[in-house]
Structure 1
Amino acid sequence: MAYIINIPTFSDERGNLTVLDEAIPFQIKRLFYIYGVDNSARGGHRHHQTTQAAICIQGSCTIINHDGKTLEHIELDEPKKCLILETKDWHIMTNFSPDAILLVLANTNFDANDYIFDPYPETA
């Protein structure tokens, strides 16, 4: 199941410094960011092998996550909040604020065959 970690952030009168070095629970092989999103939803998949860390470094967005048993709506609204998405987590990213920048780190390189687009069946 997806879970939130808090990334160490150091703040003083000069601003904030958030450090990812030891916070991410996997070796980072790929990173990308999503921004300038209209009212569209992004994602709509899970993975065979990829674990991801999602951080809304500016603005906010919602991740709708389903792990095969539980459906959750997770708000990412501060840059020290990081959502870890495991392979079983079928997710949709939505409700992007106009200024949102969503940074995603992954433990694998891109592979089109790693994606599973079929959602889980609805659960009671």
Structure 2
Amino acid sequence: MAQLLNLKTFTDTRGNLTVIERVIPFDIKRIFYIYGVDDSVRGGHRHKKTFQAAICLRGSCKILNHTGFEKQEFLLNSADQCLMLDPTDWHQMHEFTEDAILMVLASEFFDADDYIYESYECQALLIQ
């Protein structure tokens, strides 16, 4: 289940320093960032084994999350917020501001076979 964490941040007259160490509960194998997004929706999947941590470094975006039982929507609008996503969290990123930079830390290297694109609603329709 997705969880929003506040990252430890040190602030003084020189600016802010946000620390990620000892917060992410997995070894980081992949880092990517999404930016320059128009009004598109990104994501639309979950994973078989990849855990993720999403941090909006600049601007803001929303992440819709579905656990199979519950839908949640998170607004990421501060570089000291980190959204933890479990592999079973089906998620979509949307409503990116023009200046948004969303960084994602992942527990696994890219593997196309790790992606599950069907939403939980789609799977429920297939069962009926």
Please tell me the TM-score bracket, short chain as reference. over 0.9
Aligned pairs for 1:25-64 within 5 A:
25-64=25-64
Kindly state the Cα deviation for residue 85 of structure 1 after the two structures are TM-superposed. Answer: 0.4
Q: What residue number does 1:24 align with?
A: 24
Kindly state the Cα deviation for residue 36 of structure 1 after the two structures are TM-superposed. Answer: 0.2
Distance 1:73 1:26 in 2: 23
Distance 1:16 1:22 in 2: 18
Question: What SS does the aligned partner of 1:11 have?
Answer: strand
Distance 1:22 1:6 in 2: 13
Distance 1:9 1:113 in 2: 36
Q: Does 1:100 align with 2:88?
A: no
Q: Computing the radius of gyration over CA atoms, which structure comes out larger, 1 or 2?
A: 2
Structure number with higher helix proportion: 2
Q: What residue number does 1:85 align with?
A: 85
Kindly state the Cα deviation for residue 105 of structure 1 after the two structures are TM-superposed. Answer: 0.1
Root mean square deviation, CA, Å: 1.1
Distance 2:75 2:88 in 1: 19
Task: Point out where structure 1 has 5 or more consecutive residues left out of the alignment.
Answer: none
Task: Point out where structure 2 has 5 or more consecutive residues left out of the alignment.
Answer: none
Structure 2 length-normalised TM: 0.93
Report if aligned partners of 1:8, 1:20 keep a CA contact under 8 Å in 2.
Answer: yes
Kindly state the Cα deviation for residue 26 of structure 1 after the two structures are TM-superposed. Answer: 1.1
Distance 1:24 1:68 in 2: 24
Q: Quick one: which amino acid aligns to residue 52 of structure 2?
A: Q
Distance 1:98 1:91 in 2: 21
Structure 1 consecutive aligned stretches of length 4 or more whose deviation exceeds 6 Å: none
